[in-house]
């Protein structure tokens, strides 16, 4: 399925992508009291890794009731995803219900700009997508006072 990177499961709730120029990790956590899924990235994000993670999110959303989402790029060291791939993802249906709030945390200028582009491209299918710079801004938007995230199984 994947050509440029190989998918490894470290724990059932964490996904690590190995590729020729470095590793990236994606940790999935859920905050039950606040009904919020958080997907946190570390390291280098590639197109292949992002697509695999997006598919995992779609599978999880299909088998669970609607929830809110945070996509956290705070610990990303490089973002090697072509704009065409973001355009394609932006046109796909969202993994969870479109009416649910979805927040992307992107502190760096490049990832923030690309995330804003994604938000504009997906305005029709993701009307409640917001892009912010900090996790606190995401919590404020979602009205989360006491986050209680725990790792989850994405299989």
Pick the residue with more confidence: 140 or 88? 140
Residue ranges covered by each domain of the chain: 5-151
- 3-class secondary-structure state, position 78: strand
Residue 77 has pLDDT above 90, yes or no: yes
pLDDT confidence tier of residue 9, bands split at 50, 70 and 90: very low
Residue 59 has pLDDT above 60, yes or no: yes
pTM: 0.84
Please, which residues bridge with residue 48 across strands?
Answer: none
User: Which residue reads 């499961």 in tokens?
Assistant: 9
Give the separation between CA 92 and CA 99, rounded to whole angstroms.
15
22: which residues sit within 8 A by CB, 6+ positions away? 43, 44, 77, 78
DSSP state letter for 62: H
Q: Right CATH number for 5-151 from 3.30.70.100, 3.40.50.10320, 3.30.750.24, 3.90.1720.10?
A: 3.30.750.24
Contact 129, 102 (CB under 8 A): yes
pLDDT of residue 10: 36
Q: Closest Cα to residue 103, out of 76, 79, 80, 135?
A: 135
Number of H helices, E strands in the chain: 4, 8
Name the phi and psi angles at 44, rounded to 5: -90, 125
Query: What's the whole-number average pLDDT of the chain?
Result: 83
């Amino acid at each position: 399925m994947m050509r440029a990177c190989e998918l490894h499961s470290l724990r059932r709730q964490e996904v690590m992508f190995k590729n020729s120029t470095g590793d990236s990790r994606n940790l999935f956590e859920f905050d039950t009291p606040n009904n919020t899924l958080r997907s946190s990235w570390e390291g280098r994000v590639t197109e292949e890794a992002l697509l695999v993670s997006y598919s995992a999110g779609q599978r999880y959303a299909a088998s669970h009731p609607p929830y809110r989402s945070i996509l956290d790029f705070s610990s990303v060291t490089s973002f090697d995803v072509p704009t065409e791939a973001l355009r394609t993802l932006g046109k796909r249906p969202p993994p969870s219900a479109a009416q649910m709030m979805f927040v992307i945390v992107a502190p760096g200028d490049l990832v923030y700009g690309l995330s804003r582009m994604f938000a504009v491209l997906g305005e029709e299918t993701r009307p409640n997508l917001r892009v912010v710079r900090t996790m606190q801004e995401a919590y404020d938007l979602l009205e989360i006072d006491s986050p209680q995230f725990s790792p989850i199984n994405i299989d």
